[in-house]
Structure 1
Amino acid sequence: MVDIDAIVDDLDAERADLDEAVAGLDSRGWRSPTPAEGLTIACQIAHLNWTDELVLRAIASPAEFAGGTEGVLAPPDATDAINAGAEFVNAGTRQRSEWPKDKLLAAWRDSAAELSRTLRALPRGTRIPWFAPRPLSAAAMASSRLMEIWAHGQDVFDALSLTREPTRRLMHVARLGVRSRDFAYQLRGMVPPEREFRVELRAPGGEVWCWGPEDAAERVEGSALDFALVATQRLHRHDSDLVARGEAPEAWLAIAQAYAGPVGSGRPRLGPPEGLPGGG
């Protein structure tokens, strides 16, 4: 049985780490650019606040949520829905990113606290409509929100040149990265491999997290941190410690995407391939 309280506890802890990183910023730091093209730290927090409020709207009134998003949940196909949903979210993010720091930070804290309370109280079996191929359970939504905070938080930590110690909460991000394998292919109009891969990741605590058949020949191995960074497109696959055994897992790592957003370009290489000066 899924322990929703434990997942939301992790969600709250992830958010608290990010809050601590941004709370003391002055106005100049608040407007600092992040590695995500065109997004400042203010934009990152605005995105999290706005999407928190959208989740609350979706929970409170699913039909009104669908109508309020002007049909972006039901374009002709899933890719169109993802793209339309992203533009809808981006419009709200841009507007809120112009708010004064104190106003936006307070709004984010309030929406985050309300969302956590709401997710804990949802009746078992509740499904939440979202910008995803299908509605999400409360546990899946909590994990998804944690992944969003962790990924956007990575942009903020990078912008501030801060090191964030990995925690066991990476399990949520890694699990989403594994479970979204087929979605990453479908989003690009590609046919997913029929075979399951074996994924074995070294957790921050030293244990190994595993998914997929134990005897699978095609597999991915490496650290949970690097897998999470690659799956959220915060690190280029070839700058990671991940080892792909087989052509299909290698191709997957190039497109892995744990979030329900449009196809992105991801992060550029930090350096040229080994043995090929200048990347030739």
Structure 2
Amino acid sequence: MALDYVGLLDDVDVETVRLILVLRDLTPDQWENDTPANGWGVRDQVSHLAFFDDAARTAIEDPDRFREESAALIAGGMDFPDRIARDLRTMSHRDLEEWFIHSRTELLKTLRRTDPKARMPWYGPDMSVASSATARLMETWAHGRDIYDALGVRHAPSPGLRSIAHLGVSTFAFAHQLNGLPVPDPPVRVVLQSPLPDANEWTWGSADAENSVVGPAEDFVLVVTQRRNVADTRLVVTGPVAQTWMGIAQAFAGAPGSGRPSLAAPSTTGETR
């Protein structure tokens, strides 16, 4: 998949504007609404995005400072996203909204003037700036989805879905390693139907692979961002390698996620982001 960096940043901007328009109409009570993420309200989703936007900008502009600050966070345990959310719950909803708008605006300015191939540190292996931009798109889509679900608002098909799906495919090995599993040799064919007008079918992997994941692109992205259990999607998963992958798929950094239980079964697991 060839990189269109300008287009990628435009996709981040689209998803950002859509989310801001929803946030601006919220009542104070709605900011406290529970989201599908266990223990997190709408305010926590927004503070999470703002905090890690600032962290990404620091990682690009002052990598030594980022390494020092991230090491301190990780030293306190890999539950640091939950700790950050708790620490920020005293902020007013208006301050949260303004913080997110400012942090995202400044991050996009930084991303637009930075070489997409440049390397930067993160919470785990270093990555390219382009990969960081894709991760911010994915995070905005995923945490935005939690907000939309909490409010009963439709999440319009995103022009960035293909980039997020590509990230989900690219983290195949990462998801296995994160869960202490050997990376399988057999390839997995991924065939996704785009919800976007005039978009072609999106495919990855060998056409003759015995393992495959086929279905709507949005369903695939919901699974790899751990916003849906694969059992609650229209994905057709064929083969043991594909089935294992869809149970552990994770397109975001951090500790291995437990995912979300199927809506058809009682909830017995916590939410991991």
TM, length-normalised to structure 1: 0.88
Partner of 2:84: 92
Pair 1:65–1:220, CA change in 2 (3 A): same
- Give the partner amino acid of 1:111: S
Partner of 2:70: 69
Partner of 2:128: 137
Partner of 1:167: 158
SS of the equivalent of 1:191 reads: coil
Pairs within 5 Å for 1:108-257? 108-132=100-124, 134-205=125-196, 207-257=200-250
Given that residues 70 and 123 in structure 2 are in contact (C-alpha distance below 8 angstroms), is that contact kept between their aligned partners in structure 1?
no
Identity of aligned residues (%): 36
- Give the partner amino acid of 1:101: H
Given that residues 174 and 228 in structure 1 are in contact (C-alpha distance below 8 angstroms), is that contact kept between their aligned partners in structure 2?
yes
Given that residues 52 and 112 in structure 1 are in contact (C-alpha distance below 8 angstroms), is that contact kept between their aligned partners in structure 2?
yes
Residue 56 of structure 1: CA displacement?
1.1
Residue 249 of structure 1: CA displacement?
0.5
- Give the partner amino acid of 2:91: W
Residue 179 of structure 1: CA displacement?
0.7
Residue 25 of structure 1: CA displacement?
0.8
- Give the partner amino acid of 2:246: L
Residue 72 of structure 1: CA displacement?
5.7
What stretches of structure 2 of length at least 5 have no aligned partner? 266-273
Partner of 1:7: 8
Report the more deviating stretch, 153-162 or 204-213.
204-213
- Give the partner amino acid of 1:185: H
Q: 2:116, 2:134 → 1: CA distance?
A: 16
Residue 123 of structure 1: CA displacement?
2.9
SS of the equivalent of 2:39 reads: coil
**Structure 1, residues 220-265: CA drift from partner, whole Å, max 9, x if none?**
1011010000111111111111111211111111111111122222
TM, length-normalised to structure 2: 0.90
Residue 92 of structure 1: CA displacement?
2.7
Given that residues 168 and 203 in structure 1 are in contact (C-alpha distance below 8 angstroms), is that contact kept between their aligned partners in structure 2?
no
Report the more deviating stretch, 62-71 or 226-235.
62-71
Q: 1:216, 1:5 → 2: CA distance?
A: 33
Given that residues 168 and 204 in structure 1 are in contact (C-alpha distance below 8 angstroms), is that contact kept between their aligned partners in structure 2?
no
Q: 1:68, 1:242 → 2: CA distance?
A: 40
SS of the equivalent of 1:122 reads: coil
Aligned length: 262
**Structure 1, residues 127-172: CA drift from partner, whole Å, max 9, x if none?**
111013x212121111100000100011101100111122331112
SS of the equivalent of 1:248 reads: helix
Q: 1:261, 1:64 → 2: CA distance?
A: 19
Pair 1:72–1:101, CA change in 2 (3 A): closer
Report the more deviating stretch, 63-72 or 3-12.
63-72
RMSD over equivalenced CA pairs, Å: 1.8
Given that residues 174 and 227 in structure 1 are in contact (C-alpha distance below 8 angstroms), is that contact kept between their aligned partners in structure 2?
yes
Residue 46 of structure 1: CA displacement?
0.3
Residue 100 of structure 1: CA displacement?
0.6
Report the more deviating stretch, 19-28 or 123-132.
123-132
